[in-house]
Amino acid sequence: MTDLLDGAAAALLFGILNAILIARIASRQPSSEGAFLARVYATTLLLRAVLAILINVFGADSVFAGAFWGESGTYDAGGYALARHWQGDAAGTSLTQALSGYGFVYIVGALYYVFGRNQLLVQLLNCTVGALTVLVVYAIAARLFGRPVARWAALFMAFFPQMVFWSAGMYKDPTILLCIAICMYAALRLGEVFSPAFVLLFVSAALALLTLRFCIFYFVVAAALGRPSSGAGAALPGAFSRVVY
């Protein structure tokens, strides 16, 4: 459980970051869509944050933790050990070597190194990542099927129970889902026009996936490099294919 002072610091950082994001969301879309996306983003963020606080408060109870904290404890311990190692404590080295999904351990370790051991901060960052994924899913659906379908896609992504739960704990799944969605969006945009920026975006998200859950990396890259003969999501452009191959 995070203490009151660290919890207040986490809440402050969370509030400032997302106030900026919500303002940008509302300003970068047409008025009706911007208002819809800002409202969905804020609502799903609030839902995830409330659940994150509840999980954090009751996480000290062994029965509750066994049901809802799960792998969060592994990433908490691994990230803390890594942060200690970076601070010069050699005892932290061996604790991180056996952990899978090392990319998320490094994220937690970096946060702990800068802000101290603050589980709620990581949880609230996960809430933000989960809410940002909703926006990327909306963007994908809007380009493929139009804004009405995109609204439904955003709502399903925002309020599907498992998505909410993963985003409220210290799990790597929200980051994995965001990376997958970014890869999909980059591949879709490259199917419209070749752009080095979207190649870089795709490669960056794919490499992040490799550190989080390597098996998904291969499926995402294979799907992106495939060239379906028809369909709304068909094909990366020839220019992108030539770069990759």
Number of domains in the chain: 2
Which of 132, 148, 171 delimits the end of a domain? Answer: 171
Task: Check: CB of residue 131 under 8 Å from CB of residue 44.
Answer: yes
Same domain, 133 and 192: no
Which of 109, 144, 171 delimits the end of a domain? Answer: 171
Same domain, 15 and 127: yes
Write out the residue range of the structural domain in which residue 178 sits. 172-245
Same domain, 183 and 111: no
Same domain, 134 and 238: no
Same domain, 154 and 200: no
Tens-binned pLDDT, residue by residue, of the chain (245 aa): 788 899 999 999 999 999 999 999 988 877 788 899 999 999 999 999 999 999 999 877 777 777 788 888 889 988 999 999 898 876 655 555 545 568 999 999 999 999 999 999 999 999 999 999 999 999 999 999 999 999 999 999 999 998 899 999 999 999 999 999 999 999 999 988 899 999 999 999 999 999 998 889 999 998 888 755 444 444 444 434 434 43
- The model carries a pTM of 0.87
Burial class of 32 by CB neighbour count within 10 A (0 to 12, 13 to 18, 19+): exposed
